[in-house]
A and B are shown apart, each in its own frame.
Chain A
Amino acid sequence: KNQVEQSPQSLIILEGKNCTLQCNYTVSPFSNLRWYKQDTGRGPVSLTIMTFSENTKSNGRYTATLDADTKQSSLHITASQLSDSASYICVVTRDNTNAGKSTFGDGTTLTVKP
């Protein structure tokens, strides 16, 4: 069964600290993996996209890694800010030519406290 599992389910950190969110998947075949940020009451917004050959990609204070051999990805947030409080969703796509073949994780809810 194609699955995407994220951990932890929720996380609370102090402003200025770093954190790492995990995503493990069993989706096969693999086309790409995306991380989205979803603010409360809003739709998800793409942070990073990685294909099979990419193992690191950065977007400002967000750095995503991918290990296609172990089927694991992580999202590292550096020097957290209050505005980083959101849900972070990992999405793995099996076939990028078919619009329906993406599996969403349940998300990690991050709370950044002052």
Chain B
Amino acid sequence: NAGVTQTPKFQVLKTGQSMTLQCAQDMNHNSMYWYRQDPGMGLRLIYYSASEGTTDKGEVPNGYNVSRLNKREFSLRLESAAPSQTSVYFCASRSEPGSRNQPQHFGDGTRLSIL
């Protein structure tokens, strides 16, 4: 059981380039999330999708777009990468938003450097 799979694992971009980070989960979860983690800081929510067909902004959405392609897949797009977007990006999923005892399941991250 793979859980949450993120691709690519590493990526280097030049300022102004665009790219899409991919995330897929095989646990039939309804909710999916994108976070960024910067050194010495807590994870910050970029966007989330409470269910297939819906997306909402999180704490730091500027410079990003998302697509909930289907129940399994949730992608994050950087249209014009900036050095401030250098970070480790984590995708997570959870079975039901209202399920009190269900934690988020995280992928292993995409390490993105923008020069």
Contact = CB atoms under 8 A, between A and B. Distances in A.
Interface extent on B, as a size class?
Answer: 20 to 34
Interface in A75-90: 89
B40 interface: yes
Given A96-B98, A99-B33, A43 B92 contact: yes
B40 A96 contact: no
Interface residues of A, number: 26
Q: Is the interface of B mostly helix, strand, loop or mixed?
A: loop
Contacts, number: 61
Nearest to A47: B103
Contacts of A104: 42-44
Contact of A34 (B98, B103, B106): B103
Contacts of A49: 100-101, 103
Given A42-B108, A43-B90, A44-B106, A97 B45 contact: no
B41 interface: yes
B58 A100 contact: yes
Contacts of B42: 4, 89, 103-107
Which 5 A-B pairs have CB atoms at the shortest separation, nearest pair first? A43-B106, A46-B103, A104-B42, A97-B98, A104-B43
Interface of A: 4, 9, 31-32, 34, 36, 41-46, 49, 51, 89, 96-100, 102-107
